[in-house]
A and B are shown apart, each in its own frame.
Chain A
Amino acid sequence: MNNLLLYNLFEQTRDRYNRHLGLSDYMLLLDAMQQGFGVGKKEDLEDLCSMLWLKSKPQQEQFKVFLTAYLKEESEQLFKTTTTQKPTETLNNQDDTQQNPDVKEQTQTPQTPNQTQANTPSVSDTKETVKTGTGDGNDMVTVQWNIGKMVQNVGTTLNTEGVGKGTWKPSNRYILSEAYHPFTERQLRQQWRRLRKKQKVGHTPDIDIEATIKNIATKGFFDAPIHTRRAVNDFRLVVLVDWKGSMLAFHSLSDLIVRTLRAELPKTEVWYFRNQPQDYFYGQADWTKAITTDKLLNQLAQSPTHILIISDGGAARGSFVTERLQAWWRFFNKLKPMAANILWLNPMPKERWAGSTAAYLEKMVAMRAVSDEGRVIKDVVKVLKM
């Protein structure tokens, strides 16, 4: 029974905090407990679980709150089950003598999924379970069901607690959170690395083995190693970021993309605009360091450059603006001959493009919606590499 409770705790921790946990992490907990860790006080279990399963401080803090609620509910539920069980126990024993063990198991197993699935089980449900079987196995079934119910309770209590503590202020008109990007910084950086165009500059301590051997072969003896020239990524990317207005909600997302691109691709330039390209683009998000659109286009013409546009294209508000469409049309006409490749990353899901300017813009240029799990970034890289 104890094991099952721990397993439920493990499963919930995995669902809530760390999807990368596997069965081996659960076994690790059991291993540690067998060696005497985490038994005794609640704090010991808390320390152990958070050390084994949660790999960042904020998560560990959240887990503390969660575990307290979990254990509290669990003990209450356990108490309840034992009290409801007592009167029926005598009945069970009578039933038991009439049933053979096989039949008992058969009746018991199909019941389990029902109980875990049921969202609002009634009291009569519990009684039924208790009746069908006896002994330890039956205890487990009941407890599992009770925890399933309890989880929902914990979920709701936890949420309201967060509000009470003032982690966000209801007086604000909107909440911007960095916590829920569809991809992580790591995923982005790993993908950006695939955008490569090697160009050799300068010297490094790395030895060019092939050239050195060739040198020995021609001279007949070895005098000095030949060093390689360092390869620098010459992939030129210009990111055009729609800023302010309807993009406000996506600022941190755009920032993340820009930040990781700058870290991985040294030749990344970022220009900001609002809604549609006009006479100027801006080097800074606060509308400073302006450059005329013509000048920017001329710069692009000098070497093959890839263009990444981050904008909702009117999809956030669902509006269609002819003027905006025309501005983009004129801009693309000038841009297309200059750029190696153009890709538009739209933070709004594809269903929301219909009816807005985005739906028409999509016909002019490759447009991708930001989807989950960083898959879109793979796609972006693929298109930009073409």
Chain B
Amino acid sequence: MLRYINDIKVKTDVKRPDGTPLSIAPYFPSTPLRKAVNMAIALKRPLLLKGEPGCGKTRLALAVAYDLYGNDCMNHYFEWNIKSATKASDGIYTFDHIRRLRDSQFDKVNNTRDSDNLPNYIEKGALAQAFEKSKIGKPAILLIDEIDKADIDFPNDLLLELDQKRLEIPELLKSKNPEWRKQGNITAEESPIIFITSNDEKELPQAFLRRCLFHYVDFPDTPDLEKIVKANFTDFDEKIRLAAIKKFELLRGKMGTNAEKNVSTSELLDWISLIKHFETPLENIEKDGVIEHFQALLKSRNDVINFNKK
């Protein structure tokens, strides 16, 4: 039943399409998360992921890509990082009007026709690339990261594209060249697997939510945490590892919802790499009321003060 996404047990190196290396950190999806991924793929719906910062929302998409395509995954994986000024159309394409205008000036002087070559001025966005690359039996994986950062109307502008899995580039559609007209219409042969993450900074519109499946990524439990730490730090003293995790969970429990930012998995990993780097002895970690290298865990003045109070 759960066809997709197995654990990534060790750090794996893959290559980006341009040949630069990229390493994928170990990843252990929980069973509910795996279920969610399988449902989203079966129903061809985007999967909306929420959860505490640092619990692995963003990394899921790449893990799925690696699960499907192994070392070739970067050819099928597309990432769209949303910023506050991102427009929906940026994901489809941008047309470099300025460069074309400049080229047309040179054309006049040199008596050439370079500026007529429209596809030259089109920069396809992640959405268009993913749709183009999605072939039958080989769906592309698209990550739309931190969608809540954009303007509140942004998700609504994507509805049509996400529904129909089809995009248009009007500049090309209007051209006389039949080849370009064909390029102006991008249809995904197979529905891409879309992951959308949100940190809940803005409320998402209902019309958008309706089209997504929703999964809240829970914080890993102790055995999972141990698995994660073990996989990330292979040659690491077991006693120190267990002590560090224990201390971390204690801190997390204490901070609870009162903290400005509760500690998360990614911070645990940072902290442990500090422990490893400075070769912090076991008794220092186990000592009550003190955290060595607390800078990796406590991220606001209030949290530090509150911790020292206890």
Whether A47 is near chain B, meaning CB under 8 Å from some CB there, is yes
Please indicate the chain B residues that have their CB under 8 angstroms from the CB of A47 in the complex. Answer: 32, 35-36
Tell whether, in the assembled complex, residue B213 and residue A52 are in contact, meaning their CB atoms are under 8 Å apart. Answer: yes
User: Which B residue's beta carbon lies closest to that of A52?
Assistant: B213
Main secondary structure on B side of the interface with A: helix
Choose the segment among B174-182, B204-212, B268-276 that binds chain A (4+ C-beta atoms closer than 8 Å): B204-212
Please indicate the chain A residues that have their CB under 8 angstroms from the CB of B209 in the complex. Answer: 20, 55
For chain A, residues 41 to 74, give those with C-beta under 8 angstroms from any C-beta of chain B. 47-48, 50-52, 54-57, 60
Please indicate the chain B residues that have their CB under 8 angstroms from the CB of A20 in the complex. Answer: 206-207, 209-210
Please indicate the chain B residues that have their CB under 8 angstroms from the CB of A128 in the complex. Answer: none
State whether A222 and B39 are in contact (beta carbons under 8 Å apart), knowing that A20-B209, A186-B152 are contacts in the complex: no
Tell whether, in the assembled complex, residue B203 and residue A54 are in contact, meaning their CB atoms are under 8 Å apart. Answer: no
- Cα distance A360–B45 when bound, in Å? 56
Please indicate the chain B residues that have their CB under 8 angstroms from the CB of A225 in the complex. Answer: 98, 101
Whether A22 is near chain B, meaning CB under 8 Å from some CB there, is yes
Tell whether, in the assembled complex, residue A222 and residue B102 are in contact, meaning their CB atoms are under 8 Å apart. Answer: yes
- Cα distance A189–B32 when bound, in Å? 35
- Cα distance A180–B221 when bound, in Å? 34
Q: How distant is B158 from chain A, measured CB to nearest CB, in Å?
A: 16
Whether A35 is near chain B, meaning CB under 8 Å from some CB there, is yes
Please indicate the chain B residues that have their CB under 8 angstroms from the CB of A189 in the complex. Answer: 152
Please indicate the chain A residues that have their CB under 8 angstroms from the CB of B76 in the complex. Answer: none
Contact with A along B249-292 (1 / 0, CB 8 A): 00000000000000000000000000000000000000000000
For chain B, residues 199 to 242, give those with C-beta under 8 angstroms from any C-beta of chain A. 203-207, 209-210, 212-216
Q: How distant is B65 from chain A, measured CB to nearest CB, in Å?
A: 21
Please indicate the chain B residues that have their CB under 8 angstroms from the CB of A56 in the complex. Answer: 50, 214
User: Which B residue's beta carbon lies closest to that of A225?
Assistant: B98
- Cα distance A212–B105 when bound, in Å? 14
Whether B97 is near chain A, meaning CB under 8 Å from some CB there, is yes
Tell whether, in the assembled complex, residue A48 and residue B216 are in contact, meaning their CB atoms are under 8 Å apart. Answer: no
Whether B42 is near chain A, meaning CB under 8 Å from some CB there, is yes
Whether A79 is near chain B, meaning CB under 8 Å from some CB there, is no
User: Which B residue's beta carbon lies closest to that of A61?
Assistant: B216
Choose the segment among A25-33, A171-179, A310-318, A341-349 that binds chain B (4+ C-beta atoms closer than 8 Å): A25-33
Tell whether, in the assembled complex, residue B36 and residue A37 are in contact, meaning their CB atoms are under 8 Å apart. Answer: no
Whether B48 is near chain A, meaning CB under 8 Å from some CB there, is yes
Q: How distant is B223 from chain A, measured CB to nearest CB, in Å?
A: 19
Whether B1 is near chain A, meaning CB under 8 Å from some CB there, is yes
- Cα distance A128–B203 when bound, in Å? 50
Tell whether, in the assembled complex, residue B101 and residue A51 are in contact, meaning their CB atoms are under 8 Å apart. Answer: no
Q: How large is the interface on A (under 10, 10 to 19, 20 to 34, 35 or more residues)?
A: 20 to 34
State whether A55 and B97 are in contact (beta carbons under 8 Å apart), knowing that A32-B43, A186-B203, A222-B102 are contacts in the complex: no
Please indicate the chain B residues that have their CB under 8 angstroms from the CB of A28 in the complex. Answer: 43, 45
- Cα distance A10–B287 when bound, in Å? 53
Interface centre among A36, A51, A209 (most CB of B within 10 A): A51
Q: How distant is B1 from chain A, measured CB to nearest CB, in Å?
A: 6
Whether A362 is near chain B, meaning CB under 8 Å from some CB there, is no
Whether A185 is near chain B, meaning CB under 8 Å from some CB there, is yes
Q: How distant is A143 from chain B, measured CB to nearest CB, in Å?
A: 28
Please indicate the chain B residues that have their CB under 8 angstroms from the CB of A221 in the complex. Answer: 105
For chain A, residues 216 to 242, give those with C-beta under 8 angstroms from any C-beta of chain B. 216, 221-222, 225
For chain B, residues 1 to 60, give those with C-beta under 8 angstroms from any C-beta of chain A. 1, 32, 35-36, 38-39, 42-43, 45, 48, 50
Whether A111 is near chain B, meaning CB under 8 Å from some CB there, is no
Tell whether, in the assembled complex, residue B102 and residue A51 are in contact, meaning their CB atoms are under 8 Å apart. Answer: no
Tell whether, in the assembled complex, residue B210 and residue A32 are in contact, meaning their CB atoms are under 8 Å apart. Answer: no
Tell whether, in the assembled complex, residue B97 and residue A207 are in contact, meaning their CB atoms are under 8 Å apart. Answer: yes
Tell whether, in the assembled complex, residue A55 and residue B98 are in contact, meaning their CB atoms are under 8 Å apart. Answer: no
For chain A, residues 349 to 367, give those with C-beta under 8 angstroms from any C-beta of chain B. none
Whether A90 is near chain B, meaning CB under 8 Å from some CB there, is no
Please indicate the chain B residues that have their CB under 8 angstroms from the CB of A152 in the complex. Answer: none
Whether A119 is near chain B, meaning CB under 8 Å from some CB there, is no
Whether A184 is near chain B, meaning CB under 8 Å from some CB there, is yes
- Cα distance A291–B210 when bound, in Å? 48
Whether A190 is near chain B, meaning CB under 8 Å from some CB there, is yes
Whether A21 is near chain B, meaning CB under 8 Å from some CB there, is yes
Please indicate the chain B residues that have their CB under 8 angstroms from the CB of A31 in the complex. Answer: 43
Please indicate the chain B residues that have their CB under 8 angstroms from the CB of A207 in the complex. Answer: 97-98
State whether A184 and B213 are in contact (beta carbons under 8 Å apart), knowing that A35-B42, A48-B39 are contacts in the complex: no
User: 11 pairs across A/B with beta carbons < 8 Å?
Assistant: A22-B210, A31-B43, A35-B42, A55-B214, A60-B214, A186-B152, A186-B205, A207-B97, A212-B101, A216-B101, A222-B104
Q: Which residues of A contact B (CB under 8 A)?
A: 20-22, 25, 28, 31-32, 35-37, 47-48, 50-52, 54-57, 60, 184-186, 189-190, 207, 209, 212, 216, 221-222, 225
7 nearest A-B pairs in the assembled complex, by CB-CB distance? A55-B209, A20-B206, A57-B216, A55-B214, A186-B203, A51-B213, A35-B42
